[in-house]
């Protein structure tokens, strides 16, 4: 078919002489038309129809049971009365009964989604039944008795959706993240990815590369032909340069998307008895750490996952930093320092009523000053200075020293200043994790970073390539990585671009 099309074009647009050059275009005839179905994913379940409980386990108001596959309509008819198929995509009330015994199971809402307009792309049915365990297991058993139906494996509905081109790989990842999202920021980020923002961006980058590749290939094939547009290679070069800039900007993202997915490391540190453990308990809303008036209470690093102002964080409580103590506390101090190095954000806590003590001064001089100096010289580590126990400051007094770096006043005892701290945390974490509702889509997984970096490396090879065949190959490799990112398996659409974007024989 392609050969036919090409011949048509060569005859009409370029005159018959071009037909003799067809042997010079081997790559064009190995092309498959672009479809997302050629995504390298396994072809779905060889006709099997799957079913599963899609809502959560346990007693609930409504439970949703789904089927997907060619026997879905048969399953629906077998379980319902009347037995006719309801109108597509409209909810209707039906009596469900066991097809073997005729025993009524429930009165339920059923929905019929004929493929391909369904989540998986196959025929699907949803049963919205009453959420009692006996109803759910009765309907599942009834479905299991219908010939051609079997229970779904984990993720099998989504896998079928991917195999039918309903979702790209990054969208599948977004869906998984949405299901697991625990904080507002994670939900926003996952929803953007599920909406396909990252995959659309990659598709547009891949299109740019397809154009550049088409330019280079055309030059290889028609280079000496004066009918070819001028400057095709220069166009390819400038397309590659623009793409390099865009990819570089995304990669400089410094793993913000990944932090948003798995949580930023927030480390609470400070001198002994400053109220670090009190703050950790306050922020996590549970008694994670022991609080006591005795300095040196916390020894081990205590970690707890928390939702901090809508952002996911792994909050670590650490031992108070001081010198000249016994071996156990000294080990705690060593662990605290080690954890500080891994922090995305340091919550530095001092006792507002004890700023002149040697341990407060030493903490300010070392950790606080050093971190602030590093972050102004481009390090990614951030720091918030919190002066706790503000309730101990004299009412209407002068407040802490004006020479201190920027800080927040807080009382873990009275909770005064907590709202201000949460607002400051929200800003800091938005900088650490990226604001999920603004800017370009974030890279949420190492896999994304790997493919973008490999794409960028291949563009480097393009620029260094000594001949055009190698340059074209580098572009193909670069484009392959973008396709892998969205889950495609090296699909080709150069012909389309040659017809659409090129005026061979104008
Ligand atoms: N007045 C007052 N006391 C506080 C406040 N926050 C904590 N404290 C008290 O300060 C003491 C030390 O608190 P912790 O939370 O154990 O302090 P820490 O920094 O974890 O101490 P170490 O683990 O020993 O380094 C306890 O007696 C707390 O009740 C506050 O805001 N105001
Ligand atoms: K203490
Ligand atoms: Mg403590």
ipTM of the complex: 0.99
Going from the C-alpha of 373 to that of each of 87, 221, 316, 322, 344, the distances in angstroms are 67, 57, 23, 22, 15
What ligand 1 atom has the least distance to the C-alpha of 295? 24
Average pLDDT (30-39) is 32
Rounded to whole angstroms, the Cα distance separating 96 from 83 reads: 10
pLDDT score, position 497: 36
Q: What is the mean pLDDT of residues 268-290?
A: 96
- Residue 413, pLDDT score: 97
Tokens standing for residue 427: 């800003």
CB atoms within 10 A of CB 253: 18
**Rounded mean pLDDT of 107-129?**
95
Average pLDDT of span 117-142: 93
CB-based burial, 285-297: b 16+ in 10 Å, e otherwise: eeebbebeeeebb
Q: Is the dihedral of CA 170, 173, 175, 181 positive or negative?
A: negative
- Which residue puts its alpha carbon closest to atom 23 of ligand 1? 298
Query: Which 3 state secondary structure label does DSSP give 96?
Result: strand
Residue 498's CB is within 10 A of a number of other CB atoms, namely 22
Predicted confidence band of residue 346 (pLDDT cuts 50, 70, 90): very high
* Dist. CA 60–CA 130, nearest whole Å: 8
- What average pLDDT does this structure show over 28-56? 53
Does the pLDDT value for residue 6 go beyond 60? no
Model pLDDT, residue 183: 85
For residue 174 the two structure tokens come to: 């977004």
Among 44-58, 62-76, 101-115, which stretch is predicted with the lowest mean pLDDT? 44-58
Q: What is the pLDDT of residue 261?
A: 82
The residue among 199 and 317 whose pLDDT is bigger is 317
The label of the residue with tokens 């299901």 reads 179
Burial of 236 (0-12, 13-18, 19+ CB in 10 A): buried
Residue 9: pLDDT band with limits 50, 70, 90: very low
Whole-number Å distance between alpha carbons of 34 and 47: 24
**Mean residue pLDDT across the chain:** 82
* Chain position carrying tokens 């300010």: 364
Mean pLDDT, residues 426-454: 83
Taking 80 as the threshold, does the pLDDT of residue 240 lie above it? yes
Pocket test for ligand 1, best of 280, 291, 296 (most atoms within 8 A of CB): 291
Nearest atom within ligand 1 for CA of residue 412: 31
CA separation for the pair 187, 207 (Å, rounded): 29
Phi, psi of 150 (to 5 degrees): -145, 155
Count of C-beta atoms within a 10 Å radius of residue 396: 6
- Nearest alpha-carbon partner for 321 in 372, 357, 285, 288: 357
- 3 state DSSP class of 283: helix
What is the H or E stretch that residue 94 is in?
strand 92-97
Sequence-distant (6+) residues with CB within 8 A of 189 are: 177, 181, 257, 260, 261, 436, 442, 444
Could you tell me the distance, in angstroms and rounded to a whole number, from the CA of residue 320 to the centre of ligand 1? Answer: 11
Q: How confident is the model at residue 228 (pLDDT cuts 50, 70, 90)?
A: low
Does any ligand 1 atom lie closer than 6 A to the CB of residue 277? yes
388 lines ligand 1 (CB under 6 A): yes
Asked if residue 1 has pLDDT above 80, the reply is no
Res. 208 pLDDT band, cuts 50 70 90: very high
What is the arithmetic mean of pLDDT over 78-107?
A: 91
Question: Crossing angle of helices 446-464/232-251, nearest 10°?
Answer: 150
Q: Is the pLDDT of residue 214 over 80?
A: yes
- Regarding pTM above 0.80, the answer is no
| Ligand closest to CA 278 | 1
pLDDT class of 354 with cuts at 50, 70, 90 = very high
């Amino acid at each position: 078919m392609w050969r036919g099309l090409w011949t048509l074009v060569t005859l009409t647009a370029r005159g018959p002489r071009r037909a003799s050059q067809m042997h010079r275009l081997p790559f064009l005839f190995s092309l498959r038309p672009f479809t997302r179905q050629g995504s390298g994913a396994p072809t779905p379940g060889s006709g099997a129809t799957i079913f599963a409980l899609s809502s959560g386990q346990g007693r609930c108001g409504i439970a949703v049971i789904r089927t997907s596959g060619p026997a879905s309509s048969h399953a629906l008819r077998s379980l319902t009365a009347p037995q006719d198929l309801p109108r597509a995509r409209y909810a209707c009330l039906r009596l469900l009964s066991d097809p073997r015994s005729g025993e009524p199971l429930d009165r339920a809402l059923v929905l019929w989604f004929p493929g391909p307009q369904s989540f998986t792309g196959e025929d699907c049915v949803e049963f919205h039944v009453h959420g009692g365990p006996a109803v759910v297991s009765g309907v599942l058993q009834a479905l299991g008795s219908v010939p051609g139906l079997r229970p779904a494996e984990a993720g099998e509905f989504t896998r079928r959706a991917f195999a039918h081109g309903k979702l790209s790989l990054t969208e599948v990842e977004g869906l998984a993240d949405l299901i697991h999202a625990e904080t507002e920021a994670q939900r926003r980020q996952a929803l953007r990815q599920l909406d396909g923002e990252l995959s659309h961006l990659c598709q547009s980058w891949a299109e740019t590369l397809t154009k550049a590749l088409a330019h280079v290939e055309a030059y290889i094939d028609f280079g000496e032909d004066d009918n070819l547009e001028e400057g095709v290679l220069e166009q390819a070069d400038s397309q590659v340069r623009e793409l390099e800039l865009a990819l570089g900007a995304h990669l400089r993202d410094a793993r913000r998307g990944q932090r948003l997915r798995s949580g930023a490391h927030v480390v609470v540190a400070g001198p002994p008895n400053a109220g670090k453990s009190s703050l950790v308990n306050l922020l996590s809303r549970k008694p994670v750490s022991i609080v006591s008036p005795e300095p040196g209470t916390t020894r081990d690093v205590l970690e707890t996952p928390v939702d901090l102002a809508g952002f996911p964080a792994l909050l670590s409580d650490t031992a108070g930093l001081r010198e000249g103590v016994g071996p156990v506390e000294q080990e705690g101090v060593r662990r605290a320092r080690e954890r500080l190095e891994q922090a995305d954000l340091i919550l530095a806590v001092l006792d507002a009523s004890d700023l002149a003590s040697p341990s407060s001064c030493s903490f300010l001089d070392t950790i606080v000053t050093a971190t602030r100096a590093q972050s102004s010289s481009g390090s990614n580590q951030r720091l918030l200075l919190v002066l706790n126990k503000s309730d101990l400051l004299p009412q209407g007094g002068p407040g802490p020293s004006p020479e201190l770096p920027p800080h927040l006043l807080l009382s873990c005892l009275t909770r005064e200043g907590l709202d201000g701290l949460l607002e400051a945390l929200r800003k800091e974490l938005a900088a650490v994790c990226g604001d999920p509702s603004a800017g370009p889509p974030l890279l949420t997984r190492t896999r994304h970073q790997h493919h973008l970096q490999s794409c960028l490396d291949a563009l480097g090879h393009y620029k260094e390539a000594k001949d055009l065949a190698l340059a074209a190959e580098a572009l193909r490799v670069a484009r392959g990585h973008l396709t892998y990112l969205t889950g495609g398996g090296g699909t080709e659409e150069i012909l389309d671009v040659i017809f659409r974007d090129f005026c061979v024989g104008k």
